[in-house]
Amino acid sequence: MLEKFTPNQRLLVAVALSFIFFIGYTTIFPPKASNLEANTTNTAVSTVAAAQPETSAKEAVTDTQSASEVQTTATDTLTTVNSKEFTLKIDTLGRISSVILSNKKHNGKDGKLAELVSSVGAKPLYIRFADEALNAAASKTPYSSDLNNITLGENGKAVVTLTQNLPELTVTKTLTFYTDGHYDAKIALSNEKRYFVYLGQHPQVIEQMMTVVGGMIYSGDNLTTIFEDKDVEGRSIFTDVHFASSFDQYYASIIYGFSKETQVYVDRDAQSNPVTYLEGTNNFTFNGYIGPKEHKTLEAINPVLTNAIEYGWFTFVAAPIFKILMWLHGLLGNWGWSIIALTIIIRIFLYPLTHKGMVSMQKIKEIAPRIKEVQEKYKGDPARMNAAVMEMYKKHGANPLGGCLPLLLQIPVFFAIYRVLLNAVELQGAEWVMWVHDLSRMDPYYILPILMGATMYYQQKITPSNFTDPLQEKIFKFLPVIFTFFFFTFPAGLVLYWFVNNIFSIAQQYLVNKQFEAARAARHEAHLAEKHHEKD
């Protein structure tokens, strides 16, 4: 059927279908970041892995299995850390067993405060010993704490010391907690023993929407390796790691600040989800963070942590776009108006491209009847027909690719915006107008999606088209309806961007149409004047 479209029509259909495919595909298979685990990062540590005794792999598997088993053991709360933004609990096995955010903007759909520590899988700071007998004893021996209840003042910090007395071994964890959600950790063993420290599973606060969920290793020369839930096949070993993260759409548990020589393992659990753990030393120091992936917070703690905010394929475009969005929010103080201002900036930046595409479409529309005549005249000779059509394009300055390239060049920008607004935890609880109280969630009254669909329909109506097949025209006219239904469940901030973008597209198309109407009117008047002159 596509062969009946003009080149410009084929492009528009391709762009529309690619957008639909992108939305549908990322719903089922969220896009992966550059996954270099097999060919790049692991190569750097292959010598280290190969040098380990054969029992190492077996021990690592046992670690993962036992972590899940220990997780089912009933434990009591040993220490509670209270702050304005969160309440953190440490259990009698020395693990961070709970982190509850106090701000209601993070609440799940059930209205309950957000709990960032998963109820299943290994919990943060859990220690697993390679020696099975020692590990069995550790799983039954409770820690003691020098503090049972801590309240963090504003910009304050507090230190808690946990101690576990095992047969012929004493484990000491010294933890310093800060109000911004990060902590410092030091693990000291009285004797040298091989052990692993677990990162913990990712939070499960909200239903994920077309986003990557799982684990991340940020290592080497800015290499990002993503391990998605349900898609981990085996064990990977890394060194020179800047941080390890277990994350969902808005939140993360992160460990960072350890030495380059530290070996970081990513294994699979029974559901093929990633399980991340680090091999410790007798005096092992590192840092951690459990909380929202807010850019300003992560940057203030350690700039490298901003790389934990992952935008998928278009990170190279999305990251600077988000920085512009934050700058606009600093000026305007409202995320909704900042999105509108960002849309204006992007439209100005892309104006030459969009203008060129619109002008090309108008030129093709003007010569469409003549093109059709040429096609009819040489329909039995395809080579001659194509040559004649190209000559016609050249004569009238109409480039059949003129509408293609500008649109194709805009696609990375559009999808980058899509990823930014979908992953920005800053939009949580952000109000815009009277009926939009949370830009990170769908419009409860569907007003923005309907407005988006209406503007898309009107934009389509004033955009030149040269359909010759009525069925093709009907299908194309249904696209605004299809897109409207797609956008019903999208975050309001994302729909707002597309709505405002459509308004600017309509305005620009209107100006181009008026310019061509004026040019046609001028040519018509000149033609009449020439005829009148000939009569005289």
Instruction: Give residue 508's domain range.
Output: 2-22+326-535
Residue 314 lies in a domain: no
CA distance 444 to 436: 8
No. of helices (H) and no. of strands (E), the chain: 13, 18
The region of weakest confidence among 43-57, 446-460, 462-476 is: 43-57
User: Does any domain span residue 10?
Assistant: yes
Burial, 379: exposed, middle or buried (Cβ in 10 Å; 0-12, 13-18, 19+)? exposed
Model pLDDT, residue 449 = 94
Give pLDDT, residue 403: 58
Q: Helices in 115-245 by DSSP H: which ranges?
A: 132-138
The tens digit of pLDDT for each residue in 331-387 reads: 999 999 999 999 999 989 888 888 877 877 777 777 777 888 887 888 778 888 888
φ/ψ (deg, to 5) at 268:
-115, 150
The pair of structure tokens assigned to 448 is 């923005």
Calpha distance 156→166 (Å, rounded): 33
Higher-pLDDT residue of 497 and 210 is 497
Residue 212 has pLDDT above 60, yes or no: yes
For 397-421, what is each residue's pLDDT tens digit?
Answer: 776 666 566 667 677 887 888 888 8
Tokens read off for 92: 């009698």
* Residue 484 located in a structural domain: yes
Answer whether 223's CB lies under 8 Å from 36's CB: yes
Residue 285 neighbours by CB distance under 10 Å: 15
pLDDT of residue 366: 76
Same domain, 287 and 343: no
Q: What total number of domains does the chain contain?
A: 2
Helix or strand (DSSP H, E) at 471: helix 470-477
Average pLDDT of the residues in 44-69: 37
387 and 526 co-located in one domain: yes
Do 287 and 373 belong to one domain?
A: no
DSSP H/E element including 525: helix 492-535
- Among 309, 342, 373, which residue terminates a domain? 309
Looking at the fold, whether 133 and 68 belong to one and the same domain comes out as: yes
pLDDT higher than 90, residue 128: yes
Rg of the chain in Å (alpha carbons): 30
- Same domain? 10 vs 80: no
489 vs 210: which has the higher pLDDT: 489
d(C-alpha 314, C-alpha 291), whole Å? 24
- Regarding whether 347 and 241 lie in a shared domain, the answer is no
Do 164 and 140 contact (CB within 8 A), yes or no? no
Find the mean pLDDT for residues 71-75. 55
Average pLDDT over residues 96-112: 88
Residues 303, 354 share a domain: no
* Lowest-confidence segment of 23-27, 96-100, 275-279, 496-500 by average pLDDT: 23-27
Band (pLDDT 50/70/90 cuts) for residue 71 is very low
**448 lies in a domain?**
yes
Q: Are 241 and 221 in contact (CB under 8 A)?
A: no
Owner of token pair 């410790």 = 280
Higher pLDDT, residue 392 or 137: 137
Amino acid symbol at 45: V
Do 480 and 344 sit in the same domain of this protein? Answer: yes
CB 360: neighbour CB atoms within 10 A? 23
pLDDT at 532: 66
- Comparing CA positions, the residue from 34, 36, 28, 25 lying closest to residue 415 is 25
Q: Which residue is it, tokens 């905010």?
A: 309
383's tokens: 């080579």
Mean pLDDT (the chain) is: 81
36 band by pLDDT with thresholds 50, 70 and 90: very low
Q: Are residues 113 and 192 in the same domain?
A: yes
Q: Higher-confidence residue: 29 or 499? A: 499
Pick the last residue of a domain from 309, 336, 357: 309
Regarding whether 302 and 176 lie in a shared domain, the answer is yes
Residue 48 has pLDDT above 50, yes or no: no
What is the DSSP code string of 223-249? EEEEEETT---S-EEE-SEEEEEEE-S
Residue scoring higher pLDDT (408 or 455)? 455
Helix (H) or strand (E) segment spanning residue 42: helix 42-51
Check: CB of residue 423 under 8 Å from CB of residue 249. Answer: yes
Q: Which residues have C-beta within 8 Å of that of residue 221, sequence separation ≥ 6?
A: none
Centre a 10 Å sphere on the Cβ of residue 297 and count the other Cβ atoms it contains: 19
Please report which confidence band the pLDDT of residue 513 belongs to, taking 50, 70 and 90 as the band edges.
confident
Q: Which residue has the higher pLDDT, 463 or 254?
A: 254
> Is 316 contained in some domain?
no
Whether 274 and 348 share a structural domain: no
Show the DSSP H helices in 202-314 as ranges. Answer: 295-301
Six-digit token string for 142: 């409770």
Give the residues across from 98 on adjacent strands.
89
Rounded alpha-carbon distances, angstroms, from residue 241 to 94, 226, 393 = 25, 13, 56
Amino acid residing at 51 = A
Instruction: Answer yes or no: do 39 and 86 share one domain.
Output: yes
Give percent above pLDDT 70 in the chain.
79
**342/323 Cα distance (integer angstroms):** 11
Boundary-marking domain end, from 309, 336, 352: 309
Range 258-284 average pLDDT? 95
Selection from 463, 459, 454 nearest residue 487 by Cα: 454
Percent of the chain with pLDDT over 90: 48
Tokens of 146: 């020098």
Residue 185 included in any domain: yes
CA–CA–CA angle 78, 84, 87 (5° rounding) = 25
pLDDT at 35: 39
* Residue 496 scores a pLDDT above 90: yes
Are 403 and 393 in contact by the 8 Å Cβ rule? The answer is: no
pTM reported for the whole predicted model: 0.78
Is residue 208 over pLDDT 80?
no
153 in a structural domain: yes
CATH of the domain at 86: 2.70.98.90
Asked if pLDDT for residue 34 goes beyond 80, the answer is no
Quick one: pLDDT band at residue 533, thresholds 50, 70, 90? low
